[in-house]
Copies of this chain bind each other. A is one copy, B any other.
């Protein structure tokens, strides 16, 4: 987010380990052995330690003095909390977008939305998923509030592994598109409360999809 161009070892490590965690290579509860990681990446323990501290600040790992850092355990309750927070933040961004997007930004959002309509027609799931990221990104940016945008982006990255299957359910694409339509209409017309409500509705439904998926997996 705010790391300079010339990456240091620590930065690279932090990014790589974060990826390993978010992609599930390092499962929750796994111990982060400094020595092992240092060896694996062919560096000393110092940058490894600093990288781990960065991850701790992001909430990806838990730090207990004198004991190995472990990948943060995510309980279903915590996950639920995160999804709710995510939804509220997205809704807030939509609200602010309705209030403060420039005409050009509104136009861009509409264009993106229309482009996604074509992807729904051809049932291009992969294309839609990618375009969807851009779509939501436009709304984060449209809030014109980097603090909120950063928060929601970080949260989404953490939730990403749990959202993978979200568009697999049959009929999800057209439904998403219809929900997006309400969001776009509200934002473009400057309807703050409407944008908030529409987005909240949209992401809550995504959450429901997730809940049903984990319920299946847990059983």
Contacts and interface: CB of A to CB of B under 8 A. Distances in A.
Interface of A: 2-4, 6-8, 10-11, 46, 49-50, 53-54, 56-58, 62-66, 81-82, 84-85, 88-89, 92, 95-96, 145-148, 151, 155, 193
A61 to B, nearest CB: 11
A81 B147 contact: yes
Contact of A85 (B54, B81, B145): B145
A4 B70 CA distance: 14
Residue of A62, A84, A88, A95 with highest tally of chain B CB at under 10 A: A88
Given A2-B62, A84-B148, A147-B155, 10 more contacts: A2-B63, A4-B65, A8-B66, A10-B53, A53-B54, A81-B147, A84-B96, A84-B147, A85-B145, A85-B147
Contact of A57 (B57, B64, B65, B85): B57
18 contacts: A2-B63, A6-B65, A8-B65, A10-B53, A49-B50, A53-B53, A81-B145, A81-B146, A84-B145, A84-B148, A85-B145, A85-B147, A88-B96, A88-B145, A88-B148, A89-B92, A92-B92, A147-B155
Contacts of A54: 53, 56-57
B92 A4 contact: no
A148 B65 contact: no
A135 B197 CA distance: 27
